[in-house]
Amino acid sequence: MKTIKKLSLWMPLLSIALACGSAPAVAKPNVILIFADDLGYADLGCYGAEKIRTPHLDRMAAEGVRFTDFYSAAEVCTPSRAALLTGRYPLRSGMCGDVERVLFPNSKGGLPPAETTLAEALRGEGYSTMHIGKWHLGIHEGSRPLDQGFDHSFGLPYSNDMDARKDLPKGATSSATPPADGWNVALMRDGKVMEQPADQTTLTKRYTEEAVRFIGDHKTKPFFLYLAHTFPHVPLFASPDFRGKSKAGIYGDTVEELDWSVGQILDALRKEKMQENTLVVFTSDNGPWLIMGSQGGSAGPLRDGKGSTWEGGMRVPCLAWMPGRIKPAVSSQVVQAMDWFPTAISMAGGKLPEGVAFDGTNLSALLFDHQTLPERPYFFYRGPHLFACRIGPWKAHFHTQGGFGGEPKQSHEPPLLYHLSDDPGERENVAPRHPEVMNMIHETVRKHKAVMVPGTKQLKSKH
């Protein structure tokens, strides 16, 4: 009788164990992607900033890998986010516009439901998933965070300067100047408006509290946290603890508060002893918004900024941290936002969805074994148009255009060529001296175009 009772107590556990197969030797690692908005290449201490203090990010860099040649997938918000979460050039998902560069509150389009996001793929591997912060991948059914693989969402549906009360004219950029009736963007939780207008002075604090709570609630189940900060995108707001404290005005204040936020998250992981089983990546969606002057960031030695395929528009800070697993290093390998999808899937022990073209590479060998990855080309798109291509130190521009309000579009035949190791500021065109490099790049681009299948344009029209 006793034995039967004991058995009946154990049977449910036994059947769970049998159903799950043998338990994994090592728990699946957690993944946290922290995405700043419009943070420039030179806006962190570990990338040369002198007026902005970022001790937590500097420590993260010292304990992990700091990438010197990391590229976002686009020079503006929406396509950059689409590529990060799908592991594909934004042209493939149709999440790049031409005249309309990003989604506006009255845009029709959004991330197509058919796309597999990293959240969906990791959820398929047993992960809990959460989105915190800016979304900007569509507000209509099928494109929203809960439709795209996130169990929960807390944040803004789009940029903090996009106001549902005004109908922005076609092609309009936004402004740091508030509309007469004030900013009106809503803070939402799981698709429902919580607060409108959102109190932006406390957004970074509240995002951080959500993130720390989510980490604390998931000590025993693997999770994916996508924390897409609202700042330092204009309009800039910092909480009273940070307002007026940096030497770089309100821009510096917001970045110092982001640094504090990263410190809180890494401390929470250390406190729970989860740091050796959690990959944390910190990066930015595109370069600094230079026309904002003192309210925009800095690309340091790089040319131009947000909105441009010159280096300053797309080469951004990127740090990867996982103490005990990732050995400290500074890497000058060319890596890019779309690499995190296959890297995370590999770490989770999963497989990439079949029948889908992915554009990233699994970085595990680089991160965990300090191996050098094979050289591969990187393609710079502006909207649906291929503007430039980098291979090794060489970057060829077929078209150039400055960031918003900058130099107009120019096409180059023959293309311009720069040697980025010698000339990171892209000042001296050396194409005439290197015809063999130009031939190699032309051939690489020809092959790329032959296999690139554009998706249906999602950013084409508005209501």
Q: Which of 30-38, 322-330, 365-373, 390-398 is the region at the interface with Mg ion (rule: CB under 5 A)?
A: 30-38
Q: Which of 86, 174, 286, 295 binds Mg ion (CB under 5 A)?
A: 286
Task: Break the chain down into helix, strand, coil percent, rounded to 5.
Answer: 30, 20, 50
Active site residue 412: no
Inter-axis angle of helices 340-347 and 77-86, nearest 10:
30
- Give the pair of three-digit tokens for residue 366: 């680089």
**What separation in angstroms does the CA of 182 have from each of 49, 101, 243?**
32, 24, 20
Q: Of 56, 131, 136, 218, which is the active-site residue? A: 136
Please, which of residues 227-256 interact with Mg ion by CB under 5 A? none
The verdict on 161 binding Mg ion (CB under 5 A) reads no
- Rounded Cα–Cα distance for residues 203 and 237 (Å): 8
Q: Which of 28, 33, 34, 37 binds Mg ion (CB under 5 A)?
A: 37
- Give the pair of three-digit tokens for residue 326: 């990732």
End-to-end CA distance of the chain: 71
Nearer to Mg ion, 93 or 174 (CB): 174
Active site residue 77: yes
Please give the residue whose beta carbon sits closest to Mg ion in the complex: 77
- Rounded Cα–Cα distance for residues 25 and 35 (Å): 31
Nearer to Mg ion, 285 or 304 (CB): 285
The verdict on 38 binding Mg ion (CB under 5 A) reads yes
Provide, rounded to whole angstroms, the least separation between the CB of residue 228 and Mg ion. Answer: 10
- Residues touching Mg ion: how many (CB under 5 A)? 5
Q: Which residue has the tokens 């809990």?
A: 128
The verdict on 75 binding Mg ion (CB under 5 A) reads no
Nearer to Mg ion, 128 or 283 (CB): 283
The verdict on 77 binding Mg ion (CB under 5 A) reads yes
The verdict on 163 binding Mg ion (CB under 5 A) reads no
Q: Work out the number of other CB atoms within 10 angstroms of the CB of residue 396.
A: 26
Nearer to Mg ion, 81 or 218 (CB): 81
Among 203, 195, 216, which residue's Cα sits nearest to residue 242?
203
Among 33, 34, 32, 97, which residue's Cα sits nearest to residue 231?
34
Provide, rounded to whole angstroms, the least separation between the CB of residue 136 and Mg ion. Answer: 8
Q: Of 77, 96, 318, 389, which is the active-site residue? A: 77
Nearer to Mg ion, 37 or 120 (CB): 37
The verdict on 107 binding Mg ion (CB under 5 A) reads no
**What separation in angstroms does the CA of 278 have from each of 58, 61, 319, 326?**
18, 15, 14, 11
The verdict on 285 binding Mg ion (CB under 5 A) reads yes
Q: At residue 388, what are phi and psi to the nearest 5 degrees?
A: -155, 165
Site residues, Mg ion (CB under 5 A): 37-38, 77, 285-286
Instruction: Supply the residues annotated as catalytic.
Output: 77, 136
